[in-house]
Amino acid sequence: MVTAAVAGGATAPVAAPVHRARRLGIDTGYEAVVYLHRDSAVVHAEGFDSQTRVELRHGGHAILATLGVVSGPLLAPDEAGLSEIAWTRLRAAEGAEITLAHPAPVESLSHVRAKIHGRHLDAAALDAIVADLVSGAYTDIHVASFLTACAADRLNRREMIDLTRAMVAAGEQLSWNAERVFDKHSVGGLPGNRTTPIVVPIAAAAGLLIPKTSSRAITSPAGTADTMAMLAPVELDRGAMRRVVEREGGCIVWGGGAARLSPADDVLIRVERPLDLDSAGQLVASILSKKAAAGATHVLLDIPVGPTAKIRGLDQAGRLEEHLLETGRAVGLEVCPVLTDGTQPVGRGLGPALEARDVLAVLRGEPDGPADLRQRALLLAGRLLELAGTAPAGSGEGLARSILDTGAAWRKFEAICAAQGGLRTPPQARFTRPVLAQRTGRVAEIDNRRLARVAKLAGAPHDPSAGLVLHRPLGSLVEAGEPLFTVHAEAPGMLAYALAYVAAAARIIRVDPA
C-alpha cells in the first residue's frame, strides 16, 4: 500500500499495483505473459481481463505482457507470475517488486492496419513494425495479423527489400575483414539434407571464407547444428567463432549462440509455422536478413522442390528465385539459387548422430557412404566454387569432387573441428531393432513425414544417438524378412514407443511386387 495526494483532501491509502514476482517456468514463446490472481487489486481496479496488455516495470526495465487471469491456489493475490520470456526480459528476481500499469498504445499497429487495407508500407513503417516485433510489443495475435496481411504476394519488391533491411538493422550484425564472405542455406526441410558439414570444408579448402551459422531442429529429427554438435562443439561465442574462421576460413556453429542475428525473424517464424502460410515476401526477408546479418556477401540457396517440400512446383520456385536475386542485390547479397530434388530424404540416417555418421562417411570417402548425400553436396559445393570464380562455369562440381576425393575436404573438416574445440565421435545408440519387409519386391514409396516421425518418437534430437537408418531407398529391391530400416534408441521404452507407431511398416514404406 502506498499513499497518494487526493485533490481537495488528505492523503489516502491506495491499492497500489505492486506485486511480488514469481517465476512460473511456463514457455510462452516470444509473447510475454503475466499471470495475476482474479482477486488481485489490479485485476479489480484496472478492470483487466485476460488477453489485456499490461506494462510491467521492475528496476529500470519496462516490458509489455499479456494478462492471464488465474483462479485457485496457483498464485496469491499479490503475486505476479511471469512466463519465461517475461522473466528474462524484465530481469526479474524471485519476490522482486513488479509494478503494473496500462501501456501506451503500440503505434506501429496502425501500419499493420494500413497493410490490411491494401496500402504499401514505406521503409519507416516497416522499421517501426520490426522494432516493435523485436521489443515484444506485439502479441502472437498481432504477429499473425501482420503475416496474413503480407501473405499471398501482398508485399511488393520494394517492401521485401525494406523489410529485409529493417530486420537486419534490428539485430546484431557480424562483419568479417574480407571482401567476399560466402554462405549457404537450404529453404525448407528435407529430412537428412545434411550437406552443410560437407560443403563448408570443401569451400574452405578451396580458399573461400565461409563462416556458417546453423540452427537446431524445430520440427525435424535433427537440425544442422544438432548434427554438427555430434562432431565438435558448436556453441561458440562471437570471439571464438571469429578465431576459428580466421584460422581455418570456415566454421559450422550454432546461430543462436554466436549472435542475435535478425531476431525479428525468430518472432515471425514461430507464428508463421502454425499458420503454414505461403508468403514469398516473408520467406525472402527471413532468409536474406539472417544471411546479411551474418555478414555474408555471396549466398548459395538450396531450394528443394517436391510435392511435400516447402516449394511444391517450378512456377513457385521461379518466382521465388527472382525475388531472392533482386532483393539480395538490393541489400548487398549476391544470391545463387539452386533448385534440387525434394522428393525423398537425403542420406541414410535420421537423427543427430546417425546423420553425423553419413557426413563422416562421405568426407572420409568410405565406399559404402550414402551416394545421394555425396552427389548433392558436390553439386552445391560446385555451384559455390563457380559463384566464387574459383572454378569456371560448368567445372565447379569437378573441382569439388577432387577436393573431396583427395582428402583435402576431410583434413579441412578435421581442422575446423579441432579449432571449434576438438573432433568428437558420434555416440552409438544402446538399443536398435530392425523393421523388416513383409514381402519381396521393390520400394515404391517412402512417406518422409512419417519416417521423420519414427525418428522423433525414438528420441531424436533430444536423445542424440536416437533415430533410424534407412537401408532401402526408393527403387531398391528387397526380400521378405530383410530390414527396411533400423530404429535406434537410448532406452528400451523409447524403442518400443517408436516401434508401436511403426506397427505395420507398409504405411511408411510401400513395397510393390518387383
By CB under 8 A, name the one of 145, 196, 214, 344 that touches its own copies.
145
Q: How far is the CB of 375 from its own copies (least distance, A)?
A: 29
Applying the rule CB under 8 A, the residues between 83 and 122 that interact with its own copies are 84, 109, 113, 116-118
Report DSSP state, residue 51.
Answer: T
Q: How far is the CB of 48 from its own copies (least distance, A)?
A: 10
Applying the rule CB under 8 A, the residues between 16 and 35 that interact with its own copies are 23-29, 35
CA dist 373 to 65, 360, 381, 418, Å?
Answer: 46, 11, 12, 24
Applying the rule CB under 8 A, the residues between 378 and 407 that interact with its own copies are none
Q: Which three cell numbers stand for residue 37?
A: 490472481
CA distance 59 to 450: 49
Per-residue contact string for residues 251-270; x = within reach of its own copies by CB under 8 A? -------------------x
CA distance 141 to 147: 10
Q: How far is the CB of 31 from its own copies (least distance, A)?
A: 10
CA distance 482 to 470: 12
Residue 4 binds its own copies (CB under 8 A): yes
Q: How far is the CB of 71 from its own copies (least distance, A)?
A: 4
Residue 249 binds its own copies (CB under 8 A): no
Largest CA distance in the chain: 96
CA distance 156 to 139: 25
Nearer residue to its own copies within complex by CB, 51 or 428: 51
Q: Beta-carbon neighbour count of residue 11 at 10 Å?
A: 10
The DSSP-derived string for 101-128 is EPPPP-TTHHHHHHHHTTPPP-HHHHHH
Nearer residue to its own copies within complex by CB, 377 or 502: 502
- Among candidate residues 442, 438, 437, the one with its CA nearest the CA of residue 514: 442
By CB under 8 A, name the one of 55, 78, 246, 278 that touches its own copies.
278
CA distance 372 to 380: 12
Q: Which three cell numbers stand for residue 396?
A: 565447379
Applying the rule CB under 8 A, the residues between 445 and 484 that interact with its own copies are 456-457, 459-463
Applying the rule CB under 8 A, the residues between 422 and 441 that interact with its own copies are 433-436
Q: How far is the CB of 495 from its own copies (least distance, A)?
A: 7
Nearer residue to its own copies within complex by CB, 297 or 448: 448
By CB under 8 A, name the one of 62, 96, 123, 151 that touches its own copies.
151
By CB under 8 A, name the one of 59, 61, 74, 314 that touches its own copies.
74
CA distance 490 to 261: 34
Active site residue 278: yes
Using the contact rule CB under 8 A, the part of the chain among 68-76, 241-249, 283-291, 315-323 near its own copies is: 68-76
Residue 76 binds its own copies (CB under 8 A): no
Applying the rule CB under 8 A, the residues between 293 and 332 that interact with its own copies are none
- Among candidate residues 258, 238, 262, 242, the one with its CA nearest the CA of residue 250: 242
Q: Is 145 helix (H, G, I), strand (E, B) or coil?
A: helix
CA distance 191 to 370: 14
Residue 418 binds its own copies (CB under 8 A): no
Residue 14 binds its own copies (CB under 8 A): yes
CA distance 195 to 380: 8
Nearer residue to its own copies within complex by CB, 293 or 469: 469
Residue 492 binds its own copies (CB under 8 A): yes
Nearer residue to its own copies within complex by CB, 273 or 411: 273
Applying the rule CB under 8 A, the residues between 194 and 223 that interact with its own copies are 218-219, 221
Q: Which three cell numbers stand for residue 152?
A: 499471398
By CB under 8 A, name the one of 60, 368, 500, 513 that touches its own copies.
500
Applying the rule CB under 8 A, the residues between 221 and 240 that interact with its own copies are 221
Q: Please tell me which residue in 278, 315, 372, 463 is annotated as part of the active site.
A: 278
Bridge partners of 23? 82
Task: Return all residues near 172 (Cβ < 8 A) that are at least 6 apart.
Answer: 259, 260, 261, 293
32 in Cβ contact with 89 (< 8 Å):
yes
Q: How far is the CB of 139 from its own copies (least distance, A)?
A: 7
Using the contact rule CB under 8 A, the part of the chain among 136-144, 171-179, 282-290, 319-327 near its own copies is: 136-144
Q: How far is the CB of 1 from its own copies (least distance, A)?
A: 7
CA distance 265 to 248: 29
Q: Is 307 helix (H, G, I), strand (E, B) or coil?
A: coil
Work out whether the CA dihedral 500, 504, 510, 511 comes out positive or negative.
Answer: positive
By CB under 8 A, name the one of 77, 269, 497, 510 that touches its own copies.
497
Active-site positions read 278
